[in-house]
Amino acid sequence: MAQKVVIFSGRASRYLSEKIAEAYGQELGKSEVFEFSDGEILPSLNQNIRGTDVFLVQSTFAPAENILELLLMIDAVKRASARRIIAVIPYFGYARQDRKDRPRVSIGSKLLADLLTTAGVSRVVTMDLHADQIQGFFNIPVDHVFASQMFLSYIRSNFDTSDVIFASPDVGGTRRVNTYAKALGTGFVICYKQRSKPNEIGSIQLIGDVEGKDVILMDDIIDTGNTICTAAKIIKEAGAKSVRAMITHPLLTGNAYQNIQNSELEELIVTDTIPLKKQSEKITVLSTAKTFAEVIKRVEKNESISDLYNL
């Protein structure tokens, strides 16, 4: 009997794809990527996929070749007569370019949505989009899953929740921390942030009381770490017992590792949607493999996935 589901991986996410395939209960699909001497890439699928549902796993973090590789793999799958093509994008890059907030700039996330659709995807699965409205950039189904159950399970297993309070590093994350606070029956505070330019903080002010509390900063992306580390310092100075951060996508660029190591953060908890560039005693990684494997099963069976992250 022919295989109904095949899971392939791009090179950038192979470390995660292997765990997803194992959790799903089958081997990763056979594929390889040839590179010409000038850097041009040529993905090749080394097994028959005619009539199958193909799940392509690839996060679209830098460099941009990761996006191009995913698009070329989609094209190869389409030309190999797959029944459906589902792009599993654990980290959806360019999601911070979700609106035209000043003249003469691109809306990168809309362009990426158009590229994926034109290439031939039938559906997109992703985790913790930077902006919910990006789902509306697609004219195909988007399964937007969250890391919330993993984070809440970690909190319940490691902390006395009566002392926990959540914090948002900016006003835009208020909805996120409010959701977590309701789930645990705790409160939350907000750090009011003003930027002078991208990746550079102008000022941060704390709104709320953190005296004697175990504070957990929540966000979807950590890049240079400047915002989180500055917020942790302000929160600690305001009398917090401890400060941690839970962030889905660890970009961790520039001096991020040094910033974290030298910060007031006792721990940074992240997921494996993006591989760490190096290990750190302060960083704990939670795997998303079982979550994505379960999503694949439910997509294939046409079952609801909302209860995977319903708080």
Nearest CA to 91 out of 171, 10, 30 is that of 10
The catalytic position among 30, 78, 110, 193 is: 193
List beta partners, residue 145. Answer: 127
Assign 35 to helix, strand or coil.
strand
Taking alpha carbons only, the member of 111, 114, 62 closest to residue 91 is: 62
Q: Which of 10, 113, 126 lies closest to 69, judged by CA?
A: 10
Q: For residues 199 and 140, give the distance between their C-alpha atoms in angstroms, rounded to a whole number.
A: 32
* Residue 21, Cβ density class (10 Å: 0-12 exposed, 13-18 middle, ≥19 buried): buried
Three-class DSSP labels, 150-201:
HHHHHHHHHCCHHHEEEEECCHHHHHHHHHHHHHHCCCEEEEEEEEEECCEE
Helix, strand, coil percentages for the chain (3-state, nearest 5)? 35, 25, 40
| Sign of CA pseudo-dihedral 241, 170, 228, 155 | positive
| Residue 100 annotated to the active site | no
Give the containing element (helix H, strand E) for 87: strand 84-89
- Six-digit token pair at 233? 């310092």
Residues labelled catalytic: 193
